[in-house]
Amino acid sequence: MPEVVVLAGLALLGTVPVVALGAVVLRATRSRSLTTSTVVLVLIPVLAALAGFTAVTRLMFDEVFTQLVVVLAVVLAVAVPAAIVLGRAQARATVWERQIREQERAAEESRRELVAWVSHDLRTPLAGIRAMAESLADGVVAEPADIERYALQIVRETNRLAAMVDDLFDMSKISSGTLRLTLEPLDLREIVDDVLAAQQPTASRAGVDLRARQPNTPVLVVGSDRSLARVLTNLVGNALAHTPPGGVVEVGVGVTDGRALLGVTDTGPGIAPADLPRVFEVGYRGSAARSPSAGATSGSGMGLAIASGLVAMHAGDISARNTGGGARFEISLPLLAPG
């Protein structure tokens, strides 16, 4: 029994310093990669076993000691590469899980903002509609001209509510992946012509010069006519809402590096740097620096998010940046090869 106690004491004498040193190294490398920490964790027990056995044998390097060293060397030769591979895999999984959590937090924050904005925007027109309807029902408004004015205002507010509900429905389909598009060869110039013709009355009322800059040759892509028109309508409407009277909104079409480009540039106040990374988030409306011009109606806060989702469904990219004299939204789409 005393011999066993002596052996245990010698083993502790050899292993404890190694484990303590390993803990120090592990603490010093905790800010580094997960792979490094995994390798250190593999080395600690192996080297501790070697140190404990060395202390027990009292530095008697006999045949048994040599055999142990060979076994531990083989263990290290197998365990260290495995630790590196597993550490890298775990690091990738950890990074992926962290990104997923961050995306979930961002999505939850966007949903809360969306609910707050939509609740506010729904409440305002509903209150107006209720007040005007009660006035009509109670006979407070009796003059034909006033009745017509109230009725037209109710129609406008109802159309605004319907548009917001449509945006919510479309955004939910895009987010859930249930939206299905019918893709066909399209000339982007035709979409620009149609959208600008529809938006020209709005631009005229706002005192904004709405113009197009297009090449003489077709710019062909594969896409949904309705969806791409919706994207461009949202971008042009957003630009018109933030461009003061006397300003310019230009829609440009071109080809760069085998990609079709569609850009909308305005001469408004631009986008605050803090808002640029979030302009395509659902419900995000940015700071007061990018507030709509006087007379412009506030949207649902989903126009740019819907545009981003539809562009992604066309295997395209959408971006926003400041130009020094306004803002520019740019869409890049795969160009349809001739023939």
- Long-range contacts of the stretch 200-203 (C-beta < 8 A, 24+): 202/237, 202/240, 203/240, 203/249
The pLDDT value recorded for residue 338 is 62
Burial class (CB in 10 A: 0-12, 13-18, 19+), 21: middle
Query: Which residues have C-beta within 8 Å of that of residue 138, sequence separation ≥ 6?
Result: none
pLDDT in tens, 231-243: 999 999 999 999 9
The pLDDT of residue 293 is above 70: no
The pLDDT of residue 229 is above 90: yes
* pTM assigned to the model: 0.60
Burial class (CB in 10 A: 0-12, 13-18, 19+), 175: middle
pLDDT in tens, 249-262: 999 999 988 899 99
Give the DSSP H/E element, type plus range, for residue 210: strand 209-213
User: How does DSSP assign 261-307, residue by residue?
Assistant: EEEEEE-SS---TTTGGGTTSTT----GGGPPPTTPPP--S-HHHHH
pLDDT in tens, 146-161: 888 888 888 888 888 8
List the beta bridge partners of residue 185. Answer: 222
Q: Please say whether the beta carbons of 254 and 88 come within 8 A.
A: no
- Cα gap 51→16, rounded to integer Å: 9
The pLDDT of residue 4 is above 80: no
